Structure 1
Amino acid sequence: MQAWAPGGRSWERALTAADIDDPRLRAAYTRQRAVVAGYRRHAYLAVRLLLPPALVPHAIAATAFMHHTDNLLDRGPGADGAWPAWEARVRAGLAGEADADGHPALAPLLHTVAARPRLRGHVEDFLAGAPLERGTTGFATEADYQKYVDVYALPAFMTIAGLLLAPEADADASREVCRAYIDGSQRLDFVNDLSEDLRDGRLGLSEEALARYGVTRAALERGREAPGVRDLLRDQLLQARRDLLAARRLVAFAPPGHRAFTRAVIALETLTAGAALAAGPAVLRHPVRPPLPGALAVLLREYRRRGR
């Protein structure tokens, strides 16, 4: 259990392996570690078990930054100015200006960008796409959804994927496979988060898709099976699973030390898609998670594979 505690020895070794020596910076990375472990436990365990120790703090910093930024954006257009202030603060940090009080999500990100300079462009692309996320509450057509993937979801994913890809990987080819992954993952999230999104006034399924199956938003909000609902959800989830399976090619663009993690992340998302398919209209009431035995089997298999 020591290894998973905030002050665990393996975590301290990972910080040292990543050349993070300043005590305040180590504390900031450790706070972000607790954030990531709290909201995506399976992904966090995959990071700790399957990535080289020197990469672990950087992957956590990028994930925590993306999570914090996404939360600010989800407050919507009527928010109190938190997003513009955060964007300005991040851009100032990227430009080399000192962050006066060392925001716990920003200080690690800036240190990681300095250590992994290729990440800077992905962070800037993510910030540039943020206005679309901020103004989006739904999609009229599938084309609108695909624009969202291109402008916001893919740049968000690249803030993490940029750490996983081999430096010599073909940029266009690897980005195409990353897009397949995030298209499947984002579509899955929009189905899986229907109950929460509808309460917040959002709907990630396009009006075009609803009309194809004769489903109304009201039927989804009621959270009960209605004509066409099961077929609508199945259609979206099968498409998500197809894209996730196509994204298994991403492993070829990762260096050997990152491949076990890459395989595990894709497998965990595919398991989640399968769980959502099995749940059917029940996802209208609560999101599903990958089955625990299956998730643990994926992690154990890749851990052993990594050891070999």
Structure 2
Amino acid sequence: MPTWPRTLRQAGITDPDLHTAYTRQSKLVRRFKTEEYLTVRLLLPTHLHPPVIAAVAFMHETDTRIDTGTTDARTTALGEWATATRQALAGAPVTDVTLSVLRDAVSRHPQLAPRTEAFLQAAHHEVNYSGFGTEEELQAYVEGYSLPAFMLLACLLERDTSADALAFDRGCRDLIEAMQRVDFLDDLAEDAAHGQIGIPREELDRHGLSVENLLEPTDAVRARLEELVREQAALARRRLSASRHLVHAVARQTRPFITALLQVQKLRLSAVSKKGGRLADGGARPSVPSLLGVLAHQYGAARRLR
């Protein structure tokens, strides 16, 4: 893995101010997304490290701005941030480090521009999020918000010249649904403490459960939750399996990254499935050795392709 200064030089980023700004964003992402940061740095081609860091930092800043306060306050914050972002990308003077780095990344990778706009337009789903009443509402959230957020990163991955663009998009859609479902299961206890979870209320009702039940779970609640987790995990597993072809839809040098992403999600899904009804007491993580094993194996594959 090259040093960060060398990474920037190889990406053609030599301006001192931009160098400082990218370095600041890199440290930020490394701090709040450590595992993802290492995966990017070890497995993706070097020239993609700066724009991926820029995109992740931008999404993090967006989430930070719209994550607290009343719905009206969050809507206002999103509107102001969207305006500032659009002005920055249009060439207006920028003092915000996040937008400065994003603008530079967009100038080098123009496909980021429409994906940034799509993400900003989709963010209202997150602002208005209050859980799901039905499976249809969950699907609308995945399609309307989770997918545009994922594509802000996926658009940077080079595709295999023989791959069908629609197949790539379908693979991304399947993968992000699987990832989102695993997140909702893993975050069950934490989300319940905030009064809303990512499992549709109609599914809770069908199993005789409620958010209130999950706050103070009994053995009976855990038993009913066990069955619900089994069903939700099966839905995630189906989508994860459907996304496997994504490995062959990207260029060879990015396949280790996608392979690792799929394998880590498989480990996460296995962990939440195993914990089952006890997810009401807290999340589940794969073992560190298993995660490191995936990273080490794919790092070897990535090095052989360079």
User: TM-score, normalization: structure 2?
Assistant: 0.92
d(CA) in 1 for partners of 2:99 and 2:182? 29
Cross-structure match for 2:91? 96
**1:57-108 residue CA offsets vs partner (Å, 9 max, x unmatched):** 1111111111221232322514364322211111112222222x1x222221
Identity %: 38
Structure-to-structure mapping, 1:222-261, within 5 angstroms: 222-225=216-219, 226=221, 227-261=223-257
2:140 is equivalent to residue 147 of structure 1: yes
Of 160, 168, 171 in structure 2, the residue corresponding to residue 177 of structure 1 is: 171
AA aligned to 2:165 is A
Cross-structure match for 2:101? 108
SS in structure 2 at match of 1:289: coil
Q: Is the 8 Å Cα contact of residues 224 and 277 (structure 2) preserved in structure 1?
A: no
d(CA) in 1 for partners of 2:218 and 2:136? 28
**1:97-122 residue CA offsets vs partner (Å, 9 max, x unmatched):** 222x1x22222111111111011111
Cross-structure match for 1:279? 275
Q: CA deviation at 1:54?
A: 1.1
Task: Rate the CA distance shift 1:127–1:271 in 2: closer, same or farther, 3 A.
Answer: same
Q: Is the 8 Å Cα contact of residues 115 and 151 (structure 2) preserved in structure 1?
A: yes
Q: Is the 8 Å Cα contact of residues 68 and 105 (structure 1) preserved in structure 2?
A: yes
**1:221-271 residue CA offsets vs partner (Å, 9 max, x unmatched):** 224541411111121122212212321211112111111111111211211
d(CA) in 2 for partners of 1:47 and 1:157? 14
Q: Is the 8 Å Cα contact of residues 42 and 295 (structure 1) preserved in structure 2?
A: no
Task: Rate the CA distance shift 1:224–1:71 in 2: closer, same or farther, 3 A.
Answer: farther
d(CA) in 1 for partners of 2:160 and 2:255? 14
User: What do you get for the CA RMSD once the two structures are aligned?
Assistant: 1.8
Q: Which moved more, 1:165-174 or 1:293-302?
A: 165-174
Cross-structure match for 1:53? 46
2:77 is equivalent to residue 82 of structure 1: yes
Structure-to-structure mapping, 1:1-308, within 5 angstroms: 10-75=3-68, 77-79=71-73, 81-99=76-94, 101=95, 103-166=96-159, 168=161, 169-225=163-219, 226=221, 227-308=223-304
Name stretches of at least 5 consecutive residues in structure 2 with no aligned partner: none
d(CA) in 1 for partners of 2:285 and 2:8? 30
Q: Is the 8 Å Cα contact of residues 43 and 299 (structure 2) preserved in structure 1?
A: yes
Q: Which moved more, 1:36-45 or 1:57-66?
A: 36-45
Name stretches of at least 5 consecutive residues in structure 1 with no aligned partner: 4-8
Task: Rate the CA distance shift 1:293–1:56 in 2: closer, same or farther, 3 A.
Answer: same
d(CA) in 2 for partners of 1:260 and 1:246? 18
SS in structure 1 at match of 2:155: helix
Q: CA deviation at 1:41?
A: 2.0
Q: CA deviation at 1:167?
A: 7.6
Task: Rate the CA distance shift 1:193–1:115 in 2: closer, same or farther, 3 A.
Answer: same
How many residues are paired up?
299
d(CA) in 1 for partners of 2:48 and 2:85? 22
User: TM-score, normalization: structure 1?
Assistant: 0.91
